[in-house]
Amino acid sequence: MSVEAEVTTTGIKVELPKSYEDIKDLIRIDRLPHIWCPGCGLGILLKLLARAIKNSGIPIEKHVIVTGIGCTGRIGGYLKLDAYHVTHGRAIPFAVGLKMANPELEVTVVGGDGDILAIGGNHFIHAARRNDDINVIIVNNFIYGMTGGQYSPTTPKGAKTTTSPYGHYENPFNIPLLAYAAGASYVARWSVLHQNELYQSLLEMFKVKGFAVVEVLSPCIIYTDRNAMGDAVDLVKILKERSTIDHNANLADLDIDFSMKKIILGNFVKRERPVSYEK
């Protein structure tokens, strides 16, 4: 069953599934089919983000999406709202500038672990320190996916990548702990398998005044296998079978190592701090 059929700019007839009925006015059908690999979690995130935007209580025209380089960079282009696709690692300062120029905007950055935490890592920690009033969704697939499978700041120690063929020897970032320590007002981690929890977390993110961070675990279809971490299906099974929800977990215990024996999810931090323009 489909809700709408439309011939896209590529001449392909696309039909949205019935489950998209409530958000069909936010999806740019003319841009479909999307460019992501079959099975990629970004399609799930796109649907949940659109639904959260629709139900946020904030007018659609006040929402702005900012993306950098990487597979996540296409999300803004599939939504019918103002969106900017900027240079690698610079989505956060661009978003901060938008918010400073027009504080009424609800500005959300969507980026990968490499874009946000490596090339844009300096911007991330200082925006959190200032408590800039923006939202940051980090899609963590543990690798640079689009650019060739290089290790990223979240690649587990021991994983093999194109730039660490004998095994990665660096410790990965613990994103929730990093965000909290730097000063974020809201910190959560979910996976694309936990759709309801992730959707509720995105809704909560829009309510937060201050720097809000939602980490989204999503397997890379191509490089999970090449990293000797099993294939993407194996990683999906791991996320399903080994994830536990503990909102009160010690943030220092949220590391994700190569064994992936323990993956803790939850809404970990919600606190009030003065935002940057109020100081």
pLDDT value for 7: 59
Residue with the bigger pLDDT between 262 and 199: it is 199
| Highest mean pLDDT out of 7-16, 127-136, 142-151 | 127-136
The average confidence (pLDDT) of the chain is: 91
Percent of the chain with pLDDT over 70: 95
Q: Is the pLDDT of residue 279 over 70?
A: no
Q: Is the pLDDT of residue 9 over 70?
A: no
The mean pLDDT of 136-142, rounded to a whole number, is 95
The mean pLDDT of 34-46, rounded to a whole number, is 91
pLDDT value for 235: 82
pLDDT value for 12: 73
**Using H for helix, E for strand and C for coil, what is the string for the chain?**
CEEEEEECCCCCEEEEEHHHHHHHHHECHHHCCCCCCCCCCHHHHHHHHHHHHHCCCCCHHHEEEEECCCHHHHCHHHECCEEEECCCCCHHHHHHHHHHHCCCCEEEEEEEHHHHHHHCHHHHHHHHHHCCCCEEEEEECCCCCCCCCCCCCCCCCCCCECCECCCCCCCCCCHHHHHHHHCCCEEEEEECCCHHHHHHHHHHHHHCCCCEEEEEECCCCCHHHHCCCCCHHHHHHHHHHHEEECCCCCHHHCCCCCCCCCEEEEEEEECCCCCHHHC
Q: Is the pLDDT of residue 1 over 60?
A: no
pTM: 0.93
